[in-house]
Structure 1
Amino acid sequence: MSDLLANSPVIPVVAIEDSDNAVGLCEALQEGGINAIEVTLRTSDAIKAIKQIKKHCPNMILGVGTVLTPDDVSRSEDEGADFLVSPGLSPKLQKALQSTNLLVLPGTATPSEALTAYEAGFDKVKLFPAGAVGGAALIKSVYAPMPNISYMPTGGVRLANMNDYLSLPNVYAVGGTWIASTALINARDWKTIQGNARDAMDMSKKC
């Protein structure tokens, strides 16, 4: 499980409003070199989109994001998610996440929250919202006291600053909405999404 995202330095975070766009999106990302995606549960069509990706894009590592409740955990498991991402960690959600065999990336915003997640069994966490809580400087500063915790920063990450994060030893991936924004997905602008994906992957190789 811990190696699931070893070859996925860039993970698009997407909100799919029309499940008919899911396969085209997935194909555009894969053509741009990206092999993992986080589909957020922010839209009414999210579960349908997840079903489509699982069925038609079997080589895409499928993450489900905005996991807020135990029901979200069970639904995501039922639909074949490969990993789960939450924006935070409540006691009730923590218990549900600890019961799954999937890779879990709980959201944290402070060193204390990261340590709490680590003590609960999660050595990989999401830093959210990264740009608003200290960004790369925060992650760099906590490496010495907490070297066993690895981060996926999300929120404020973009092409211009992604390598500020990826160059750090305690960052295993970055998540971002800029690669496939909801507007681009709704417009079915697969060419731009493919280009954004390729640019991001090319940038990641410069670290």
Structure 2
Amino acid sequence: MKGIKHIVKGAPILPILQADSVEQALNIAKAVEASGLKNLEVVRRTDAAAASVTAIREAFPDMVVGMGTVLSPEHAKEAVEAGSQFLVTPTVSPRLLDGLMSSGVPFIPGTSNPADILMASEYGLTELKFFPAHLSGGAPMLKALGGIFQNISFCPTGGISGSNLNDYLSLKNVFAVGGSWMIPSDMVKAENWQGITDTCKQALEAFEGLRP
């Protein structure tokens, strides 16, 4: 199975979307797409999550859409049935990893320490989420882990913002970053879709600035 970095389009940046309704999710997705970003993670934290994935896939076929906060094989099955192109978890366990392995779609399991990383690597996985990144040591921790797990690359999320984005993207063992800072809850509540587009554009420009 191909890893998630092989299906990510354009800049390796994953805005994290949490919507209370399908209509809200579609408005957010439209705002993200307008920024030039092509990837989106819909977290499984509201009743609208699965339906939102389906609706976004239909309305924006050029976007790569996945589901986050997957905690069980049952969640993984639901996400795939909704049309998720990738899966993201906040943590790992043998049962969850078995479910992810049999899901049929790329995934990034959540890790926060060397024990988690070792467990995932024993399953042959080389692309992992690092969460919560800031509380787990941030970019310095990821840099240190790179010396131990030299074949592992990470997608850090949690506590990432425009002010520290470059600290993560500049690391050799970071293949993508994710975060909700690009879709601020206050902008969602205010239906400030242009503001979300602008915030996503800033993240894209930060990535472009790191290119040789």
Aligned residue number for residue 112 of structure 2:
109
Q: Which amino acid aligns with 2:138?
A: G
Aligned to 2:76: 73
**Following TM superposition, by how much is the alpha carbon of 1:32 offset from its aligned partner in structure 2, in angstroms?**
0.6
The equivalent of 1:202 in structure 2 is 205
Q: Deviations over 1:23-79 (max 9, x none)?
A: 221111111111001100000111121121011011110010000111110011111
The reply on whether 1:21 has 2:24 as its aligned counterpart is: yes
Q: Within 1, Cα distance between the matches of 2:11 and 2:49?
A: 22
Distance 1:193 1:82, change over 3 A: same
Inter-partner Cα distance in structure 1 for 2:186 and 2:53: 19
Report the secondary structure of 1:143's partner residue: helix
User: % of aligned pairs identical?
Assistant: 34
The aligned counterpart of 1:148 is 151
**1:96 Cα deviation after fit:** 0.4
The corresponding residue for 1:41 is 44
Instruction: Report the Cα offset of residue 6 of structure 1.
Output: 6.1
Contact 2:17/2:25 (<8 A) preserved: no
Deviations 1:145-186 (A, max 9, x none): 212111011111000101100000100111111111233223
The answer as to whether partners of 1:163 and 1:203 remain within 8 angstroms in 2 is: yes
SS at match of 1:62: strand
Say whether 1:4 aligns with 2:7. yes
Contact 1:88/1:106 (<8 A) preserved: yes
Aligned CA RMSD, in angstroms, stands at 1.2
Question: How many residues matched?
Answer: 207
Report the TM-score when normalising by structure 1.
0.96
Say if 1:29 and 1:98 are closer, same or farther in 2 by CA, change over 3 A. Answer: same
Structure 2 match to 1:193 = 196
1:51 aligned residue: 54
Distance 1:75 1:101 in 2: 12
Higher relative contact order (CA 8 A, sep 6+): 1
Q: Residue type matched to 2:48 in 1?
A: D
Deviations 1:92-128 (A, max 9, x none): 2111011122111000000221121121132111100
Distance 1:187 1:43 in 2: 19
Structure 2 counterpart of 1:132 = 135
1: CA distance, partners of 2:70 / 2:96 = 9
Letter in 2 for 1:33: G
Code of the residue aligned with 2:68 in structure 1: it is G
The question of 1:172 aligning with 2:164 is answered no
Q: Which residue of 2 aligns with 1:83?
A: 86
**For residues 80 and 18 of structure 1, what CA distance do their matches in structure 2 show?**
17
Where 2:24 maps in the other structure, the secondary structure is: helix
* Gap regions ≥5 residues in structure 2: none
Contact kept, 8 Å, 1:6 with 1:172, in 2: the verdict is: no
Which letter does structure 1 place at the counterpart of 2:188? I
**For structure 1, which runs of at least 5 residues remain unmatched after alignment?**
none
Moved over 3 A (4+): none
